[in-house]
Amino acid sequence: MTKTTQRLGAQPGEQVRTVRRGASPKQKLSYLSRWLPGYLWQGVTHHRLPNKTHLIFALADHFEPAIMPADGAARAPYEEQERRLERWCREYPSRFGSYRDEEGRPFVHTYFYPAEQYDQPLVAQLAEHCRTGWGEIEIHLHHGAEAPDSAENTRRQLIGFRDRLAGEHACLSYWGESPQPRYAFVHGNFALANSNNGRGCGVDSEMQVLAETGCYADLTLPSGVFHQAQTSKINSIYECALPLAERAPHRKGRDLARGRAPQVFPVIVQGPLMLDFHAGSGSRRLRIDNAALTGLNPASLHRLRLWKRAAISVKGRPDWLFIKLHCHGMDPGDEEATQGSAMQEFVRELAGGAKERNEVLHFVSAREMVNILLAACDGKAGNPGEYRDYRLRRSRPSLADFHQDRASAAILKG
């Protein structure tokens, strides 16, 4: 089991990713009792999957070049960070370039880079890697470790990093003609909107702060196994049903559905959370699959079957399945699961056997996944790969377009 630790030398008041020591029996019971009833109910109410399904894959990579798994309070030397990133950008295309989806796209990562670890040269190199077709950069934040963070400081960190990514690196997206950069988000400690019993965040109104600073989707969940921030609502894509300014408004939500465009952002895009009776060592034992790719639990066709059974979709569009996975691509201990032979074999089998499994594959970024689910809400059908740029686009609107849009709106208002 892992120990509780502070990772990557955050500044005072900032939160860093924590790794939990083995949960107590009480914590395990609390965790399981929170979501098992909903899991069992989903098993009863979920209909059989359509014969032919579109599988829309996104990999949320909590991408921390400075990660030191053996010593969470330390950062890797800067030369090591450079070496790790250079190797990743050099080797990933050669390892995965041969495996393509329905539109001829490779298996990409969405690199959720920690705001509190921003380094201009490192992000510039990663941005160039993404510009050549290997993913997109979004926002990741650890905050409030030593003391609860404040809404004001969280807002400052998010806006500062958002504007660097958009202005210096041309990484983020835009909605319509608005000049405000938009972004996807993951919480570094799973404690989204102070959902971990007041630990690991401290900002009850975090969801409101995210909404006001341009966040269109949160991809944090599911949490780590036995983590107390896990919600009872699982295997879903939904709008928050509680006021965004209150603690953990994502505890309850309204599922996205065909014919009803979402009104509350950020939408919550969850990955699969499943029970797995896995055969091993001559016996069967219960495991919890929380969609994480790790050295001990790499991707496999067995896990693919579980992820499909989670049936995460927009209501009324059951043939478009959204499979959001997560990993730590820079963790040396997880290299095999993120870019090693195990992952290469999985992507090869995934692409090579899709037709036999009656699957159509679409490898997408977090932004593209959200665009496709928004298209599903608007009643679009056919090939979901056509809607990768449906609402959120990487091209920045010109200032002239923005002023023209505002003038047109004023005329329409009379």
Instruction: State which amino acid sits at residue 43.
Output: G
Encoded tokens for 47: 């209909």
On whether the CB atoms of residues 360 and 53 are closer than 8 A, the answer is yes
Average confidence (pLDDT) over 200-225: 97
Instruction: Give me the count of residues in the chain.
Output: 414
Choices 3.20.110, 1.20.120, 3.30.70, 3.10.400: CATH for 26-405 = 3.20.110
On whether the CB atoms of residues 200 and 217 are closer than 8 A, the answer is no
Nearest to 199 by CA among 143, 251, 240, 132: 143
Encoded tokens for 279: 């055969």
- Measured over the CA atoms of residue 360, residue 366, residue 368 and residue 370, the dihedral's sign is positive
Q: Is the pLDDT of residue 409 over 80?
A: no
Give the pLDDT of residue 411: 36
Q: How far apart are CA 397 and CA 138, in angstroms?
A: 19
Nearest to 373 by CA among 322, 298, 326, 334: 322
Q: Tell me the domain boundaries of the chain.
A: 26-405
Nearest to 229 by CA among 45, 391, 35, 367: 35
pLDDT in tens, 264-313: 999 999 999 999 987 554 456 789 999 999 999 999 999 999 999 999 99
Radius of gyration in angstroms for the set of CA atoms belonging to the chain, rounded to a whole number:
20
Q: Is the pLDDT of residue 412 over 60?
A: no
